[in-house]
Amino acid sequence: MARDSVLQARAARNGETVFSIYSWSRPTLSFGRNQPAAGVYSLEKIRAAGIDVVRRPTGGRAILHHREVTYSVAAPIDAASLRETYSRINRILQVGLSRLGVLVEAVPRSHHTPTPGVRSCFETPSEGELVARGAKLVGSAQWRENGALLQHGSILVDDDQSSLPELSASVPPVNGSLPTPATLRALLGRAPDAKEVASAMFDAVRSMEDAAATEMVEDDVRGEALNLVPHFLDEDWTWRR
């Protein structure tokens, strides 16, 4: 999260756009920027499950980062609206996923937007999110600040998002069965790793956006990112709502 925040600041300063794909070294629960968490989720249950916790600089609902691949896009803001930039990034994701053998489509504008809660972000797709065979595969959220945007998204490899209610301060009753999200394993019959997904996505970036796109040197942002790490480790930030 510190690294992605630095990339957003760099985008505002120098107009640089960076598309990233990464996985997490430990299972981690991330809260959306303004999502209520205090009194909703149980820190004791989260720790007992061996899960780390962080609050994202972007919005949206909680996501368990474990059996999934995360993407981020940091870019300067141009004249395009949030919806337009969201759609532009979606097109890259669609082409990248098609290179893996997965066909997805965006949820129509008229689709219902889910209310906040402890149930999975992947339970019900929101407008513009990507679905495969009618089930949500990619969850995304965008934050704009100081002339730059940061968009985070999660591409499910396996489904462990339905376990989120078990981490709540008091598990709410569930009426009926929960919708099952799409996963790369179910769609492909195997589980691609982050490197394979990254290769497909970067091919899509080069074919659709910039044929001369190159890999970023991580040392260029490491120092700035390390300076921001204490902010994301601060429980006052993580549990501020």
Active site amino acids: 121
Cα–Cα dist 172/175, whole Å: 10
8 A C-beta contact, residue 3 and residue 221? yes
Can you tell me whether residue 238 is helix, strand or coil? Answer: helix
Closest CA to 157 of 183, 195, 122, 189: 183
Helix (H) or strand (E) holding 194: helix 194-208
- Residue 115, phi then psi, degrees to nearest 5: -85, 155
138 Cβ contact partners less than 8 Å away, ≥ 6 residues apart: 93, 97, 104, 129, 130, 153, 154, 155, 156
Distance between the two ends of the chain, CA-based, in angstroms?
Answer: 18
Can you tell me whether residue 209 is helix, strand or coil? Answer: coil
CA-derived radius of gyration, the chain = 17
89 Cβ contact partners less than 8 Å away, ≥ 6 residues apart: 73, 140, 151, 153
